[in-house]
């Protein structure tokens, strides 16, 4: 059933995830199905941004969701929202995967990756998320070039800060601080509180 | 690492961008530094918002598979998570492809489709060509002395040039380039002390592009982009859209 929408205020984008995770922890399949619906779009998009390969991205997305199922009882609301918890898991796994893929110096695999660069026009415009999404874009636009490059290379491409430094030809310490002050500026622009 | 240094790692930590040793060191620090702990929570929530920009509609069968799997998967009891030792590998060389993709991604947020071969995904030959070109591109990008300079192009487009002196090669990336008028192409030039030397054509059909500049850098101090008749010219026939100095 749809939540009523109040004029002048965005409707809640998701069911109360935290509550749902509590139910999932007790083995509730229906609650898990709703968690899936709420998180799978951003999780898959994030994993795919990092990995690029559609098949691998779906595989890792499945792993993330299975981890949510398995470890729901360990989620600690005091540490952050359920969405943040799940997206952190997703980023972590995507980064691990992309780094191990790089380690395997398999030409074939690389060629395959190259051949399957995702079509970004597959990215959706989910109506309820679009306002927030626009805000994120706007706030990213408010970063300095180096902040934005550092943050996006680390987040969307899964690069270690040493790799970011090498790529942008700036000192390691500079990247560390740009990652921090870039995220701090984003936090303030988005009004994130925990 | 000093405590003052550790305080600056919150951003790299939440972005999973630290090497394994630093990560462990920082996690120890987190246990005794409430201000970093608070900052990490806030920045993790902030980083999560970045995923909204790239959210996708998952294929329906993915949900079916996941729902099927949970019915046979055991759940772990509450309690402290296993101290999972992450298999993280610091200092590995970047995959060439990833490296090349990164530069392009760095120029425009997220949705960058960068390789010319995308339009030719019907042909194995095209894939091989792309691979060969990307290997050359990647060699430039991953050269230890590769340097990068970025600049604006007309219409809000961006160009980035990467030069490796040791390889005597340069690569040029664009994002947001409009398609040139019918019958026209973009041509790249090395700037040899005021004389323009052709460095090949750029695929006009893709706004985000990565090309290896044709020919050696030699003494060139910079590069330029012009619009030329299809097939290119032996010398520029129009004022350059952009002239960039090579990074030094
Ligand atoms: Zn601290």
Rounded CA-CA distance A44/A61 in Å is: 6
Share of chain A above pLDDT 90, in %: 65
CA atoms within 13 A of residue B47's CA, in its CB half-sphere = 37
> What is the percent of chain A where pLDDT is above 70?
78
Question: In chain B, which residues have pLDDT < 70?
Answer: 79-135, 137-139, 141-146, 148, 203-209
Q: The domain containing residue B24 runs over which residues?
A: 3-51
DSSP of B154-166: GGG-EEEEEEETT
Selected residues 66-105 of chain A with any CB under 8 Å from a CB in chain B: 66, 69-74, 79-81, 83-84, 87-88, 90-92, 95-96, 98-103
Find the CB nearest A113 among B58, B97, B99. B97
Q: Where are the domains of chain A?
A: 17-113, 123-190
Q: How far apart are the first and last CA of chain B?
A: 32
Dist. CA B28–CA B144, nearest whole Å: 34
How many H helices and E strands in chain A? 9, 0
- What's the pLDDT score for residue A27? 95
Whether B236 is in a domain gets the answer yes
pLDDT, position A12: 46
On whether both B167 and B216 belong to a single domain, the answer is: yes
| The pLDDT of residue B241 | 80
pLDDT at residue B204, as a whole number: 58
Does the pLDDT value for residue A30 go beyond 50? yes
Q: Which of A77-81, A190-194, B75-79 has the lowest mean pLDDT?
A: B75-79
To test the contact with chain A by mutation, choose from B9, B17, B246 the residue with the greatest count of A C-beta atoms within 10 A, namely B17
Interface of A with B in 30-49 (CB under 8 A): 32-33, 36-37, 40-46, 48-49
The pLDDT value recorded for residue B43 is 97
User: How would residue A15 be classed by pLDDT, with cut points 50, 70 and 90?
Assistant: low
CA B51, CA A107: separation in Å to the nearest integer? 30
Judge whether B13 lies within some domain.
Answer: yes
Determine, for residues A129 and B55 on separate chains, whether the beta-carbon distance falls below 8 Å. Answer: yes
Residue A47: what pLDDT? 96
User: How many domains are contained in chain B?
Assistant: 3
Q: What pLDDT is stored for residue B120 in this prediction? A: 26
Q: Is the pLDDT of residue A36 over 50?
A: yes
Residue A15 has which token pair? Answer: 């069911």
Cα separation of B12 and B27, whole Å? 12
The CATH T-level fold of domain A17-113 is Rna Polymerase Sigma Factor; Chain: A (1.10.1740)
Q: Which residue has tokens 């199922």?
A: A69
Chain-centroid distance of CA A44 in Å reads 8
Paired residues of B195 in beta bridges: B192
Domain boundary among B107, B123, B141: B141
Is residue B62 in some structural domain?
no
> What residues have a C-beta under 5 A from ligand 1, the ion?
B 7, 33, 36
Are B149 and B232 part of one and the same domain?
yes
SS3 B71: coil
- When mean pLDDT is compared across A81-90, A159-168, B132-141, the lowest value belongs to B132-141
pLDDT (tens digit per residue) in B208-242: 667 788 889 988 988 888 888 888 888 888 878 87
One domain, residues B149 and B225: yes
Task: For residue B112, tell me if it sits in a domain.
Answer: yes
**Top-level class of domain A123-190:** mainly alpha
* Cα A141 from chain centre: 18
Which residues 67-126 in chain B show a CB within 8 A of chain A?
A: 67, 69-71, 73-81, 86-99, 101-103, 105-106, 109-115, 117-118, 121
pLDDT in tens, A94-136: 999 988 776 554 434 444 433 433 333 334 444 445 788 889 9
pLDDT of amino acid A117: 35
B58 CA to chain A: closest CA distance, Å? 6
ipTM of the complex: 0.84
Residues of A in contact with B8 (CB under 8 A): 173, 176-177, 180
| CB-CB neighbors (< 8 A) of A153 in chain B | 102, 105-106
Residue B73 included in any domain: no
Q: Is residue B230 part of a domain?
A: yes
Q: Which residues contact B117 (CB under 8 A, 6 or more apart)?
A: A114, A115, B126, B127, B129, B130
Q: What is the mean pLDDT of chain B?
A: 74
Task: Kindly state whether residue B58 falls inside one of the protein's structural domains.
Answer: no
Same domain, B198 and B234: yes
Measure the CA–CA gap between B194 and A54, rounded to whole angstroms: 47
Contact A175, A165 (CB under 8 A): yes
Contact yes or no for B95/A81 (Cβ under 8 A): no
- Residue holding tokens 């993280």? B88
Cα dihedral sign, A104-A106-A107-A111? negative
């Amino acid at each position: 059933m749809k939540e009523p929408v109040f004029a002048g205020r965005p409707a809640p984008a998701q069911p109360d995830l935290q509550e749902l995770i509590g139910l999932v922890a007790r083995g509730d399949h229906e609650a898990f199905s709703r968690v899936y619906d709420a998180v799978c779009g951003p999780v898959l998009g994030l994993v795919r941004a990092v990995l690029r390969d559609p098949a691998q991205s779906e595989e890792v997305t499945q792993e993330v969701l299975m981890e949510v199922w398995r470890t729901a009882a360990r989620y600690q609301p005091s540490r952050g929202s359920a969405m943040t918890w799940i997206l952190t898991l997703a980023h972590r796994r995507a980064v691990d995967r992309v780094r191990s893929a790089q380690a395997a110096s398999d030409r074939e695999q690389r060629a395959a990756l190259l051949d399957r660069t995702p079509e970004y026009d597959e990215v959706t415009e989910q109506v309820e998320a679009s306002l927030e999404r626009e805000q994120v874009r706007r706030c990213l636009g408010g970063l300095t070039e180096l902040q934005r490059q550092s943050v996006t290379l680390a987040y969307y491409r899964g690069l270690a800060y040493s790799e970011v430094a090498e790529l942008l030809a700036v000192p390691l310490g500079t990247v560390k601080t740009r990652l921090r002050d870039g995220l701090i500026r984003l936090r303030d622009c988005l009004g994130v509180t925990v | 690492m000093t405590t003052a240094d550790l305080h600056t790692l919150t951003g790299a930590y939440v972005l999973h961008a630290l090497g394994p040793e630093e990560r462990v060191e920082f996690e120890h620090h987190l246990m005794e530094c409430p201000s970093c702990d608070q900052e990490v929570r806030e920045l993790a929530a902030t980083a999560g918002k970045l995923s909204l920009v790239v959210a996708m509609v998952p294929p329906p069968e993915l949900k079916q598979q996941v729902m099927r799997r949970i019915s046979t998967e055991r759940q772990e009891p509450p309690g402290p998570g296993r101290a999972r030792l992450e298999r993280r590998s610091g200092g590995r060389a970047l995959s060439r492809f990833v490296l090349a993709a990164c530069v392009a991604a760095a120029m425009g947020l997220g949705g960058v489709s960068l390789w010319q071969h995308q339009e030719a995904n019907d042909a194995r030959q095209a894939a091989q060509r792309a691979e060969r070109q990307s290997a050359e591109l990647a060699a430039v990008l991953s050269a230890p002395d590769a340097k990068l300079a970025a600049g604006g192009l007309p219409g809000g487009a961006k160009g980035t040039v990467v030069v490796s002196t040791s390889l005597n090669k340069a690569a040029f990336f664009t994002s947001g380039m409009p398609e040139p008028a019918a019958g026209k192409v973009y041509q790249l030039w090395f700037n040899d002390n005021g004389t323009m030397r052709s460095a090949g054509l750029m695929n006009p059909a893709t706004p985000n592009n990565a090309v290896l500049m044709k020919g050696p850098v030699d003494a060139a101090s910079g590069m330029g982009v012009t619009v030329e008749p299809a097939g290119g010219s032996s010398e520029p026939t129009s004022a350059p859209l952009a002239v960039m100095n090579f990074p030094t």
